[in-house]
Amino acid sequence: MTRARMPRPHEVDAARRDPRLLRAVDERGLDPAWRTRGACQAVDPETFFPAPSEPADAAVALCRTCDVQGACLAWALEVGDCHGVWGATTPRERRAMLVAWRAENGTADRPAEPLMLPLIRLIAPPRRSVELAPVGARP
């Protein structure tokens, strides 16, 4: 398994002009039910997660025909998913787009929040700290 590298500045510049990223910026948050209408619904999910040595051409070609391509890519960039094919992009392309996406959304300075953290906060809210009175003190 190879380690993913940070995108080079020229790759990030190219990503900023990529029409797929521009479409994702325009369509983010517009369609919360985009997954139900994706062209990928009738295809084996393994198609979208090829081994590193296998081409992703079939998945990218199918994504290019999809009506929800922008919303799909916006979701992948929002959660920072760098595995598989999302919105007609490969993981390498999305790494460069992710730098531009975070700069656009003002989140470039802070690390991405883990996906489960909001769910954990809902299930187990933070405990309140209790101050202990010194021994012998009256309330």
Give residue-wise pLDDT tens across range 7-66: 888 898 899 999 999 999 899 888 888 999 999 998 999 999 999 889 999 999 999 999
Helices marked H in 1-139 — which ranges? 9-17, 19-27, 57-64, 69-79, 91-105, 117-123
Question: In the prediction, which pLDDT does 6 show?
Answer: 82
Task: Answer with the residue of higher pLDDT: 137 or 40.
Answer: 40
Is residue 83 assigned to a domain? yes
Query: Domain total for the chain?
Result: 1
Please, which pLDDT band fits residue 70 given cuts at 50, 70 and 90? very high
Report how far residue 74's alpha carbon sits from residue 101's, in angstroms, rounded to the nearest whole number.
9
Domain that holds residue 48: 9-123
Q: Is residue 87 within 8 Å of residue 72, measured between CB atoms? A: yes
Is residue 129 assigned to a domain? no
Is residue 93 assigned to a domain? yes
Please, which pLDDT band fits residue 121 given cuts at 50, 70 and 90? very low
Residue 39's nearest CA partner among 3, 67, 14 is: 67
Is residue 114 assigned to a domain? yes
Query: What type of residue sits at position 78?
Result: E
The mean pLDDT value for 115-129 works out to 45
Is residue 96 assigned to a domain? yes
Report how far residue 101's alpha carbon sits from residue 22's, in angstroms, rounded to the nearest whole number.
10
Please, which pLDDT band fits residue 131 given cuts at 50, 70 and 90? low
Is residue 26 assigned to a domain? yes
Is residue 99 assigned to a domain? yes
Question: In the prediction, which pLDDT does 97 show?
Answer: 92
Is residue 134 assigned to a domain? no
Q: Is the pLDDT of residue 137 over 70?
A: no
Out of 26-30, 62-66, 71-75, 128-132, least confident range: 128-132
82 is in an annotated binding site: no
Q: Is residue 97 within 8 Å of residue 75, measured between CB atoms? A: no
**Residue 86 has which token pair?**
């999302």
Question: In the prediction, which pLDDT does 115 show?
Answer: 41
